[in-house]
Amino acid sequence: MSKDTLTITDNRTGRTYEIPIEHDTIQAMALRQIKVNEDDFGMMSYDPAFKNTASTKSTITYIDGDKGILRYRGYPIEQLAEKSNYLETAYLILYGELPTKEQYDEWEYVILHHTFVHENITQLMKGFRHDAHPMGMFIATLAAMSTYYPEGREISDPDKRIKQIHRLIAKLPTVAAFSYRHNRGLPYVYPDNDLSYTGNFLSMLDKMSEAKYKPDPVLERALDVLFILHADHEQNCGTATMRVIGSSHTDPYTAMAGAAAALYGPLHGGANEAVLRMLMEIGDVKNVPDFVKAVKNRERLLMGFGHRVYKNYDPRARIIKQVADEVFEVTGKNPLLAIALELERIALEDDFFVERNLYPNVDFYSGIIYQAMRFPIAMFPVLFAIPRTIGWLSQWVEMLEDSEQKIARPRQIYLGEGERDFVPMDKR
Ligand code: ACO
């Protein structure tokens, strides 16, 4: 008997089945042969929230949650954060290899020369309520972009596909910046293609009457590093949504609007916003013990702590802590940092958190940096969505090119009523 198999005995029938193991995994469909009789549908696996189900094979991002390891295409996140920039990392994530100088120059040129949005998109964004949440504007505009680029529906054409990828990476910082300026009642600033990817983004956010905006190099680099850290994170809620919507062969704009919507929730990319609101509510270091008590009594969640995959310190949180120090040198210290550090100190020593392997995740410190950089809290999820664009799109391409993939369609265990006859209203 081959060693790479799993032997299952069905005690209902006494029958034994040998199921192949590949990559330490069994195919869920292999369970279907396990039946009590011929009419039986066959065995399924039940996994609400996909806690132990691999939905794809992927070569993009590797995470070892127990050891706190994150790599894009094999490269450790720490090395990319130190030595790369966002656009280079984006190229790596999409194509699988670091670009040569020539490839990088061309890639950068193409992205930096697709930053303008159609004037009708600008008009459309101006139609939002004056205080619209920037993430709501971002998601809605992203969905609306599908109507400007109908060729995006030609998903089987690799040339058309890469064109939409260029557009999305290039234009979403513009959409994000417009949503920010709108929310503040400021005139929109058009892209400056002479600046770097993040430098241009800062210009569209901050520029007022000056002829040429000069981004602060420390803040420009800090934002770039934050973008690298957020570029991909394998099959998380937003990415899984991108793949599920994309599996019905919709265009990438519409699929990404869904992915961004999934990211918006406070248990996912909206957590950095929730962390900041929590820190402001705690208000003072002396209130930290009471807050921790409330968490342990299950009255509150410690936002920015815990992760479905990391059961160790999130490596991104470690890098962000270093970035925070550099940013605070320019901006001055965010007073909320002291509260965050005290929360972390207590939590990492407390049995409740230790037993459950609850450590700070990427969102615990990112909000504090964004706030020090004077971003309003409502912009935080948008700042997550911009860099995640490349992750969503690379995973979408991988899904489309994977011959094992089909339209995503989970099963259910039906526990409702059996068949019954309709009862007229006067008899109920
Ligand atoms: N505060 C207090 N207790 C927590 C927290 C938290 N932040 N996170 C998990 N726990 C507890 C749970 O109550 C549970 O305890 P129990 O076993 O006694 O019932 C145990 O730890 C395990 O947690 P689960 O909820 O089963 O873990 P799951 O993998 O389903 O959830 C999640 C992960 C959603 C991230 C969760 O940790 C959470 O809600 N954290 C706060 C929100 C947050 O920071 N989200 C950002 C995640 S990073 C990202 O998306 C970019």
Encode pLDDT of 226-279 as tens digits: 999 999 999 999 999 999 999 999 999 999 999 999 999 988 888 888 899 999
- The pLDDT value given to residue 98: 98
* For the CA of 236, the nearest atom of ligand 1: 50
Q: Which residue's alpha carbon is nearest to atom 17 within ligand 1?
A: 356
**Which of 189, 235, 232 has its CA nearest to residue 212?**
189
Contacts of 409 (CB under 8 A, 6+ apart): none
Ligand 1 centroid vs 305 CA: distance in angstroms?
Answer: 7
Question: Can you give the pLDDT at residue 269?
Answer: 86
Q: What does the alpha-carbon distance between residue 294 and residue 305 come to, in Å, rounded to a whole number?
A: 15
Please give the span between the terminal C-alpha atoms of the chain, in angstroms, as a whole number: 61
pLDDT for residue 266: 87
Give the span between the Cα atoms of 125 and 90, in whole angstroms. 27
Q: Which residue has the tokens 């101006």?
A: 126
Strand locations in 150-282 (E)? none
Sign of CA dihedral 138, 140, 143, 146: negative
Contact yes or no for 233/394 (Cβ under 8 A): no
Confidence of residue 1 (pLDDT cuts 50, 70, 90): low
Nearest CA to ligand 1 atom 11: 356
Q: Relative to the CA of 305, which ligand 1 atom is closest? A: 7
Under 8 Å between Cβ of 244 and 276: no
Asked if 263 contacts 238 with a C-beta cutoff of 8 angstroms, the reply is yes
Measured by CA distance, the residue closest to atom 45 of ligand 1 is 267
> Using one digit for the tens of pLDDT, what is the confidence trace for 87-129?
999 999 999 999 999 999 999 999 999 999 999 999 999 999 9
2 pLDDT tier (thresholds 50, 70, 90): low
Question: With bands split at pLDDT 50, 70 and 90, how would you rate the model's confidence at 333?
Answer: confident
Tell me which residue of 142, 169, 162, 205 sits closest to 86, measured CA to CA. Answer: 169
**For 122-155, what is each residue's pLDDT tens digit?**
999 999 999 999 999 999 999 999 999 999 999 9
DSSP classification of residue 98: P
Which residue in 226, 209, 139 sits closest to 175, CA to CA? 139
327 Cα distance to chain centroid = 23
Q: How remote is the CA of residue 376 from the centroid of ligand 1, in Å? A: 25
Average pLDDT, the chain: 95
Distance in Å, CA 50 to ligand 1 centroid: 15
User: Rounded to whole angstroms, how far apart are CA atoms 32 and 26?
Assistant: 12
- CB neighbour class for 368 (10 Å; exposed up to 12, middle 13-18, buried from 19): buried
Bridge partners, 74 (sequence order): none
Give the pLDDT of residue 268.
86
Q: What is the CB-side half-sphere exposure of residue 234 using CA atoms within 13 A?
A: 21
Q: Point out the ligand 1 atom lying closest to the alpha carbon of residue 304.
A: 44
List all residues whose CB is within 6 A of at least one atom of ligand 1: 267-269, 271, 295, 301-308, 356, 358, 361-363
Q: Read off the pLDDT of residues 209-241 as tens digits, 9 standing for 90 and up.
A: 999 999 999 999 999 999 999 999 999 999 999
As annotated, the active-site residues are: 268, 307, 363
Nearest CA to 183 among 126, 145, 262? 126
At 185-214, the pLDDT tens digits run 999 999 999 999 999 999 999 999 999 999
With a cut of 90, say whether residue 6 has pLDDT above it: yes
